[in-house]
Chains A and B, each alone.
Chain A
């Protein structure tokens, strides 16, 4: 018995080391998760059923009221959109004048939360989109109000998302008011982020909106991250203590948006746009979607050819995108080098680029 114990201990230690250092065990893990991740779905079932029943028996007045509310909200958003169209147009023109790269629309896809990590000391969630849906490692995840986190583990049909407030997570941010850069680290409290190493004299006030700066090359620039809750100037401390509340409902949102950001360089993008235009002139179908592109039944915006005057309606689902993003969005590509999966997930305009890369 002792021998067997020893063998198993050595085996598990070896497994741990191999899993931590090499990618050898990734296929094994993804095969196992194919079966095991169903259990998250099963544990989520009661809530799903409850929701189903509740929506079946929701009274008519409630539904009418909800419909009314949604209509008003829709009207408001549409109104804001009109302004956004003009602003985007203006922004593009100004950027052209400045000869700097244009803002890019990121493609988004809707995912649903199916489970929370059982470990109370980590903030991770499990979503129902995985490698087969074109999700890539490090992909940013939003909800309707702001950034939530990034994908840290890929499984075939599910993936694990590390939330902003996990103690191991930090995100480069910018004060929306004046562009002051900082790093927001998670504290382990779902309602609080901490800004590290902010000088005592820095211009940061309670109520400031922090947006992602895109400097870490992982998150796209300009998405709201948090609002500053308190700024404490303690003369005994070398830095100011700044605490912020995430704008996203980290422990309440059920529907999330996965952002597919564009990892091409400006020249590549220009080339692609030119090619796309040529293709259109030649009378080909404007969207040459390869068969491998996953087409989920989500309200995904039609991707626009990048540097051409931006088609406003295509920004529609990204309600959280402020028009005043300061950092050039084009400099915030996904951190991963382009592989087959992100290529398939890109807008169709990207297709010629990838084929050219392969040549």
Chain B
């Protein structure tokens, strides 16, 4: 994250800003429970392909931003996003050589774990949420992983982010 050789690393931050906007953009009521974890997806991608640029500290800061936006306790989303980034970083060597469908399976498991942590945290703070519905965002995110990583890799190649 510290080295900024390439001039195009601001694009990474642009994607994060868009991710933040997407994570609060209004949606029809029935689609709300399917809202993908945009920030987590972006973090997973950048941590996988640019581990020298995007790390757990980035995840933590973005999580704090999300906490302020969502009105949850400061640190709640920060914790889950850090967890996701940690898991992706520790599986990074293997994940990068996996075929696409296998990658999205792993993503599903990681996001599911993060959602489980989220469920516990929100249960601790008093608002219990329906349990199984929390898996849906992870599922939708895993299905989106294919397109996200295609698109972002295209972006990397186009603007020579490294």
Binding site for B on A (CB under 8 A): 1, 4-5, 8-9, 11-16, 18-20, 25, 28-29, 32-33, 36-37, 39-40, 42-44, 47, 115-122, 124, 152-153, 160, 167-168, 251
Contact = CB atoms under 8 A, between A and B. Distances in A.
Contacts of B90: 1
B91 to A, nearest CB: 12
B26 A116 contact: yes
A227 B129 CA distance: 27
B24 A20 contact: no
Nearest to A251: B29
Nearest to A116: B26
B60 A8 contact: yes
B126 to A, nearest CB: 7
Given A29-B68, A124-B71, A167 B127 contact: yes
Contacts, number: 104
Interface stretch (B6-14, B74-82, B143-151): B74-82
Contacts of A39: 20-21, 24, 69
A115 B27 CA distance: 11
B57 interface: yes
Interface in B41-89: 55-57, 60, 63-65, 68-71, 73-76, 78-79, 82-83, 86, 89
Nearest to B136: A120
B95 interface: no
Contacts of B55: 4
| Majority secondary structure of chain B interface residues (helix, strand, loop or mixed) | helix
Interface string B97-134: 00000000000000000000000010001110110010
11 contacts: A4-B56, A8-B56, A8-B57, A12-B79, A16-B76, A16-B79, A40-B69, A43-B24, A118-B69, A118-B70, A120-B35
A208 B26 CA distance: 34
A19 B86 contact: no
Contacts of B130: 121
Given A115-B24, A116-B26, A160 B71 contact: yes
B15 interface: no
Most buried by A among B57, B68, B126: B68
